Structure 1
């Protein structure tokens, strides 16, 4: 349970897709002019990540990685289809994006029109593919953790685009210097927000750890110390004998 909670908060705040690794920036910048549009796209990204990451985890576990085909029989244990990872991951993502596009067009034509070309472009959104590739790189062990990672990564991206959309709506009425208007001030705000999100790292790293036990002296250090003590004793004996002889 603790592992699930840690992965959830870490994926949202510390390893945020936008602020930590700058994935999905094209949609993040283009569709963040209005909060309503940003909410729609963010919800679509959460859904696509929540579905594609677990599906791609199953593909990785039972088809792609080295020895994954052992369930077909011992003769398939040496097969390694990892070179197909990109093709199958992208095919899974494209299928889910098409499903989302059909659902949005059916139930919310206004949102479908406002998202425009960026809805089908979720299929080539690097944040979506990055979620599956990071899942593979993290070597996530269970389907539950894969689902957790997909949902939390989507929520992190959703919070990022929602925050910048709210700021951009308000900043229209601000007196921004002419050279910084538009993408200039947006990049600056994104950088500042990234610094703010990285500050959450202290919540899950370094807190509550026990102080390290004192390191014992090595054998070499003990030998050197004993040698120094012996030399000091010998020098005192010599000086004492010299005093008696005189």
Structure 2
């Protein structure tokens, strides 16, 4: 259940584009055609799915305070968290280089379409954001880290695919001249963000209901305890009299 909830929250509620507006440069620049958006989105899914769990391993076994205890008790006081940015970016750059080599080898047309934005995945805020959010939210297991990386990539992929499909259609629409291009794109992005954020109520409703039920139960127990204490005090007063 925890994996399912994390997946849907990462895709819809905590979407990298619509909730945090990360990766907007490539989101706006490479979303003019659906085919190009699909290629870049697939690359982002791959990079996030690989780098987030890899960086989780780095964080758990190297970077955190006391993470080096597996080397021996003398390393228990080491704290290498100040190296997080450097190691995370190094992991991301390595994976992006691998993706670039594969795309250039198997799909030269897609490689030419993506242009400079393919190597720029290495400095895409959404990619680094995935690893930093994983670290700040203290994701506990490798499986959850893998799930979070994959679902965050799916969310970014859906965002760029949706805006690319809409932008292809708006070419034939009568958009007011001042809003043509990025103007109408920003407006549509804002409206899509509102739509995606509305899923938050659906995903957190159960938690709210459970919390309310628990609060009612706790209140009832406290009231019962108060009544019992009052009755005991009354009995003691009667006995004294």
**Do they superpose with TM above 0.5?**
yes
SS of aligned partner of 2:100: helix
The match for 1:67 is: 66
**Equivalent-residue separation in structure 1 for 2:206 and 2:178 (angstroms):** 43
**Equivalent-residue separation in structure 2 for 1:8 and 1:207 (angstroms):** 16
**Equivalent-residue separation in structure 2 for 1:183 and 1:57 (angstroms):** 36
Task: State the TM-score, normalizing by the size of structure 2.
Answer: 0.88
Give structure 2 stretches of 5+ with no counterpart.
231-241
- Give the number of the structure whose residues are more often helix, by fraction: 2
CA deviation string 1:64-95 (max 9, x = no partner): 00000000000000000000000000000000
Task: State the TM-score, normalizing by the size of structure 1.
Answer: 0.86
Instruction: Describe how 1:180-195 pairs up with structure 2 within 5 A.
Output: 180-195=179-194
The match for 1:41 is: 40
RMSD: 1.6
Instruction: Describe how 1:41-190 pairs up with structure 2 within 5 A.
Output: 41-190=40-189
**Equivalent-residue separation in structure 2 for 1:142 and 1:207 (angstroms):** 24
CA deviation string 1:194-220 (max 9, x = no partner): 00000101122123624331745698x
**Equivalent-residue separation in structure 2 for 1:81 and 1:142 (angstroms):** 20
Q: Which runs of 4+ in 1 moved over 4 A?
A: 216-219
Instruction: State the number of aligned residues.
Output: 220
Give structure 1 stretches of 5+ with no counterpart.
224-246
**Equivalent-residue separation in structure 1 for 2:70 and 2:206 (angstroms):** 42
**Equivalent-residue separation in structure 1 for 2:179 and 2:41 (angstroms):** 26
